Amino acid sequence: MPLRRYARCCCLVLPLVLAACATTDKTVVPDPAVKTAVPDKSMRTNSAARQTAIKPTPFSDEADKRTVYFEPGGTSVDYAAIEVLRENAQKLKEDPQLVVTLVGHTDNLGSAAYNLAVADRRIEAVSDRLRSLGVARNQIRRLPLGSEDSSKLKCESDACRRLMRKVELVYERR
C-alpha cells in the first residue's frame, strides 16, 4: 500500500516539478501603446548639474586660512587667529551642510600625555571662539592629536616648532 501512494504522489508531483524547471524563450515585443519612461535631455542635464554643483570645501587650497597657530604651551587665541576663525565661522554659517573637524597639534617637546592635553585645550579655545561667532555646535568636531605627528619630525628650531603648534580646520560635507 505505501508504495502505491508514493507512486501516485510522484505521478502528480513530477509533472509540476518538470514544468517549473522548463524554460521557454519568449521574445518580448514592446507594445506601441505603452510608453516607456525615457529621461528627456533636461533631466539628464539637471542630474549632471547637480553632480558638478557640489560645492568645494572652504579654503581647500589655502591652508593658512584653515590654520590657527599657538605660542609654546599656549592655549589662547591671538588676534591673527581671531581673524582666521571669523572667516571660517562665516563659511560655516552660510552652509549648514559643512562640518569642521578641529585637529589639534603640538610641537615635539614634552610628554605625549602633556601634549595631548595641550592640544585638547587648544581645540577647546578654537571651538569656543567659533561658537561665540555663531557656529552651530553640531558643525564642530574635535580631534586632538598632540605630538603624535610632530614627534616623528626632526625639528630643532623655534620656527619649525611654531608650525607644529596649531589647530587645523578640516572641512567635510554631511
pLDDT digits (tens, 9 = 90+) for 17-49: 455 555 455 555 555 554 545 555 554 445 444
Domain boundaries of the chain, sorted by first residue: 66-173
Q: Is the pLDDT of residue 98 over 80?
A: yes
Q: What percent of the chain has pLDDT over 90?
A: 53
User: Can you give the pLDDT at residue 59?
Assistant: 86
d(CA 169, CA 64): 10
**CATH 4.10.640.10 corresponds to the domain 66-173:** no
Contact status, residue 102 vs residue 126, Cβ threshold 8 Å: yes
In this structure, is the dihedral angle defined by the CA atoms of residues 114, 125, 139 and 170, taken in order, positive or negative?
negative
User: Can you give the pLDDT at residue 20?
Assistant: 52
Strands 67-69 and 166-173: antiparallel
Burial of 12: CB neighbours in 10 Å, binned 0-12, 13-18, 19+: exposed
Segment holding 113, helix H or strand E: helix 112-132
